[in-house]
Amino acid sequence: MHSDPTWAAAAQHFQHTLGEQWTKAMQAFGSFQPPTAAGPAALPQIQFSPDKLAALQQAYLQEAAELWNKGLAGAAASDKRFASEAWGGNPVAAFTAAVYLLNGRTLMGLVDATETDAKTKARLRFAVEQWMAATAPSNFMALNAEAQKKAIETRGESIAKGLQNLLHDMQQGHVSMTDESQFEVGRNVATTEGAVVYENELFQLVEYKPTTAKVYERPYLVVPPCINKFYILDLQPENSLVKHLVDQGHRTFVVSWRNPDESMQQLTWDDYVADGPIEAVRVVQEIGGSKQINALGFCVGGTLLGTALAVLAARGEKPVHSATFLTTLLDFTTTGVLDVFIDEAFVKFREMQLASGGMLKGQELASTFSFLRPNDLVWNYVVGNYLKGETPPAFDLLYWNSDSTNLPGPMYAWYLRNTYLENNLVKPGKLVVCDEKIDFRKVDLPVYIYGSREDHIVPIDAAYASVKHLPGKKRFVMGASGHIAGVINPPAKKKRSYWTNDKLPATHEEWLAGATEHPGSWWTDWTAWLKPHGGKQVAAPKRYGKGTQYKAIEPAPGRYVKVKS
């Protein structure tokens, strides 16, 4: 079947429209602006496969005819946004939803039919996904049968409550994902007992109270990401990675990053490495009285820790006995969905804005990450909060997700160019950080590398790529689920599974082919791996810190983590 001229025209219109929609989608995210002052970069030239276009046309006409022949009855879609009885019982609403989904599939089919480079296709797909998520009939009161039914049943009370929710969220500056009034840092999240024993401009060091009579002689330092609050690792006692470490007999310390304000707008990546993990390692060594410690880096915290270890190795120092990297990028060859935003024009624009000073606001980062999953993390709450007048349920993880942090502009701009754009960290000698050339080949220590199978921020093959850059004895483990849920998976829950393979072939695909699946949490495997690296056991300390130099400043979790953006 040959492509109809109407479809050819539609394809041309689609190409033109996507350029506009891409710009709108980028501008919708606070942190993503047009890459030049003069306007967005031109969309690369794209063509359509005639065969795919013809097949798509035929499929569309066939599905549209079937939909029309059914009339308005029984056309409700299986999509969860339209799965309620209100949609199924309203023929007009059900038909509208079915047409919307048909059009969405067709638009995605047009993306798949494009003949262009992989990055451009990924950008087209992302723009269409954002467009379709925003234009779903469920997002509008005039089309949402469920919201209309609730308004009738409550005699308009749901509409009034929805307006109250809207005004509240406008005042707080973000869409409520949970009932934030139900949580308080230090009261019912981040409650593991401890004290702040050191602080500088950049972080507070929290030491946790031992729960065992003896502890391993090598203390344990945790470096969380600086783009989030550290208590993702200490949400509740039953899912706290921090408490798990303490209960296993490790004398545990955690870096609590300061939420930067305008006084910190000149800080660089070098500042974060030198005054962050390098300084934390030194302090933990002194407090623990140990020549070496063990350390963990999570997400960007792992990138900072890895850089710090490379700096220390270049100086001939080896204060860390073993390192654990959780969902960490050292090699930025594959960066998942975030790659759609990164190119030379975008990075130059951000450098023009922030490289000489300034602040990337936490809400911009939070909005960006939310729009990576727009239906689940944006429009779901728009519909529930504003159209249905619902109060979202109390959920500690989503409370943490809304507790955003700022980043100093120079640090952020350096990070964008040297990691996501140019992947310089893994090029031996290419970068100089803290006056030392970065070369991961010198970071020779045992490492445990964890990646999550469905991680959209640190793709599993990107997590695995660290294996080829670190020369020490390595263990790689893959867990089920995503960037956060895969990591925060305590053994007691008996949820999900993980995969192991003692061999480390060139690619993750080869590794997975020979991997063994185990039910439950990867924490058990990690605990077993970590045990011999702890050294001998000694009597647990009776007080926090050490001597007069490192005394308890304030109870955990400290004041830095409580500062809002």
* Residue 305 within a domain: yes
Amino acid 41: pLDDT = 53
Q: Tell me the residue range of the domain where 108 lies.
A: 5-153
Region of residue 358 (left: phi > 0; alpha: psi -120 to 50; beta: else):
left
- Do 127 and 237 fall within a single domain? no
- Do 443 and 468 fall within a single domain? yes
* Residue 188 within a domain: no
pLDDT in tens, 430-443: 999 999 999 999 99
- Do 412 and 512 fall within a single domain? yes
pLDDT in tens, 473-526: 999 999 999 999 999 999 999 999 999 999 999 999 999 999 999 999 999 999
Q: Are 229 and 300 in contact (CB under 8 A)?
A: no
- Do 171 and 253 fall within a single domain? no
Residue 538: DSSP 8-state: E
> Alpha carbon 130 to chain centroid distance?
18
Amino acid 315: pLDDT = 98
* 3-state SS assignment for residue 550: strand
pTM for the full predicted model: 0.89
Amino acid 366: pLDDT = 86
Q: How many CA atoms lie within 13 A of 247 on its CB side?
A: 14
Residue 420: DSSP 8-state: I
Q: Are 496 and 481 in contact (CB under 8 A)?
A: yes
- Do 322 and 393 fall within a single domain? no
User: How does strand 320-326 pair with strand 220-223?
Assistant: unpaired
Amino acid 369: pLDDT = 86
- Do 371 and 461 fall within a single domain? no
* Residue 257 within a domain: yes
Residue 282, exposed/middle/buried by CB under 10 A (0-12, 13-18, 19+)?
A: middle
CA–CA distances in Å: residue 308 to residues 91, 276, 318, 439: 61, 9, 11, 11
* Residue 339 within a domain: yes
Q: Are 267 and 408 in contact (CB under 8 A)?
A: yes
* Residue 512 within a domain: yes
- Do 434 and 319 fall within a single domain? yes
Residue-wise burial string across 507-538, b where 16 or more C-beta atoms lie within 10 A, e elsewhere: ebeebbeebeeeebbbbebbbeebeebbbeee
User: Hey, which residues are catalytic here?
Assistant: 299
- Do 350 and 399 fall within a single domain? no
* 412-416, Cβ contacts within 8 angstroms, sequence gap of 24 or more: 412/350, 412/354, 412/360, 413/347, 413/350, 413/351, 413/354, 413/355, 414/268, 414/269, 414/355, 415/269, 416/342, 416/347, 416/350, 416/351
First CA to last CA across the chain, in angstroms? 58
- With a pLDDT cut of 70, the percent of the chain lying above it is 91
Distance, CA of 414 to CA of 227 (rounded, Å):
15
- Do 345 and 493 fall within a single domain? yes
- H helix or E strand, kind and range, residue 214: strand 214-216
Amino acid 42: pLDDT = 57
The residues pairing with 296 across neighbouring beta strands, listed in sequence order, are: 222, 324
- Do 213 and 165 fall within a single domain? no
Last residue of a domain, one of 374, 403, 432: 403
Q: Are 399 and 180 in contact (CB under 8 A)?
A: yes
Amino acid 438: pLDDT = 98
* Residue 189 within a domain: no
Task: Give the type of residue at 210.
Answer: P
* Residue 324 within a domain: yes
Last residue of a domain, one of 403, 435, 470: 403
- Do 353 and 421 fall within a single domain? yes
| Total domains in the fold of the chain | 3
Amino acid 153: pLDDT = 96
For the CA atoms of 521, 526, 532, 538, the dihedral, rounded to the nearest 10 degrees, stands at -70
How large is the angle between the packed helices 50-69 and 91-113, nearest 10 degrees? 170
- Do 550 and 450 fall within a single domain? yes
Distance, CA of 33 to CA of 26 (rounded, Å):
6
Q: Are 481 and 452 in contact (CB under 8 A)?
A: yes
> Alpha carbon 206 to chain centroid distance?
24
Q: Find the CATH number of the domain harbouring 335.
A: 3.40.50.1820
Low-confidence ranges of the chain (pLDDT < 70): 1-44, 71-77
